[in-house]
Amino acid sequence: MSERTPPGTAYEVHGPDAGVPVVLIHGLGLCRALWNDHLPAFADHRVITYDLYGHGESAPPPRVADLALYADQIVEILDELDIARAAIVGFSIGGMINRRLVLDHPDRVASLVILNSPHDRGEEGQAAVEARAATVREQGAMSTMDAALVRWFTPDHLDVHPEHETLVRQWRNDVDPEGYAQATWALAHGVRELIAPAPPITCPTLVLTCENDSGSTPAMTHAIAAEIAGAETVIVDRLQHLGLIEQPGLFTGPTLDFLERHTS
């Protein structure tokens, strides 16, 4: 059963109160249910899942959305639960939000796990992502859905698991249109503020992506890690952007191994 912060963030707490706190951030156009198949692996942790502003059961953004707003949303949840620091696991835009969080509120972050998250796209790639954001603004949240499914899932996966397409379409249908448009722009434009962060990120960090993730490539993952001293990288074979839906264990395994080694 979900709780709600005063500004309107819907969240859930899973696991024992004494467990190591872990916050899981879903991706653009999804919701906290993204993590349902991952939660059993985190049974010994105190896991917080929540919906970004304008997604799932959360309220629309209280101001024009940017990465700092979404970072502050996590701080509000931690304050609500009286949690001083947590491991922050972010998928896609979530891996941008947790980087913004550690830059803005370093004392609240014990460690980072950055999953399938973009970095410097180059001029051509950046223009393509900003064009998609403009399409969403002009034509609505579902206008880019069909093309996204091709990028997100491996060939033929949805033929075998049509329920996964049903889920991601339902999650995007549930977004607040304006909130989603703003989040799409934050995903497109916000990456610029994370390149060569100053001051540099120094907390323990794991950066992971999939071999065939066209928007969060292995090269981007290595570039993120190169800017964070001591960061570890994992590249999951074969899968695409939503590999964590296709094979959750390939994500929970490295994440839990990392957290076990970097829990203070």
Amino acid at 57: E
pLDDT tens digits for range 137-163 = 999 999 999 999 999 999 999 999 999
pLDDT more than 70, % of the chain: 100
What CA–CA distance (Å, rounded) separates 169 from 145?
8
Binned at pLDDT 50, 70 and 90, residue 260 comes out as very high
pLDDT tens digits for range 187-210 = 999 999 999 999 999 999 999 999
What CA–CA distance (Å, rounded) separates 91 from 81?
22
Its pTM stands at 0.98
What CA–CA distance (Å, rounded) separates 239 from 153?
7
Q: What is the pLDDT of residue 125?
A: 94
Contact predicate 121/54, CB 8 Å? no
Binned at pLDDT 50, 70 and 90, residue 55 comes out as very high
Of 249, 182, 255, residue with least CA distance to 24: 255
CA 123 to chain centre: 23
pLDDT more than 90, % of the chain: 98
What CA–CA distance (Å, rounded) separates 90 from 186?
15
Of 2, 64, 76, residue with least CA distance to 33: 2
Helix crossing, 93-104 with 177-189: angle to 10°?
Answer: 70
Q: What is the pLDDT of residue 35?
A: 98
Contact predicate 220/120, CB 8 Å? yes
Write the CB contacts of 213 (distance below 8 Å, at least 6 apart in sequence).
Answer: 116, 239, 240, 241, 243
Handedness of CA 183, 184, 185, 191 (dihedral sign): positive
Contact predicate 243/213, CB 8 Å? yes
Of 116, 124, 74, 128, residue with least CA distance to 247: 116
**How much is the mean pLDDT over the chain?**
97
Q: What is the pLDDT of residue 264?
A: 60
Residue 1, pLDDT > 80, answer no
Q: What is the pLDDT of residue 169?
A: 98
Helical ranges in the chain per DSSP H: 67-80, 93-104, 122-139, 145-152, 157-160, 162-173, 177-189, 218-226, 243-246, 249-261
* Mean per-residue pLDDT, 3-23: 96
* Mean per-residue pLDDT, 177-193: 97
Q: What is the pLDDT of residue 263?
A: 81
pLDDT tens digits for range 90-116 = 999 999 999 999 999 999 999 999 999
Q: Which of the following CATH numbers is that of domain 3-261: 3.40.50.1820, 3.30.60.50, 3.20.20.140, 3.40.47.10?
A: 3.40.50.1820
Listed by start position, the domains of the chain span 3-261
pLDDT tens digits for range 110-133 = 999 999 999 999 999 999 999 999
> What phi-psi label fits residue 252: left (phi over 0), alpha (psi between -120 and 50 degrees) or beta?
alpha
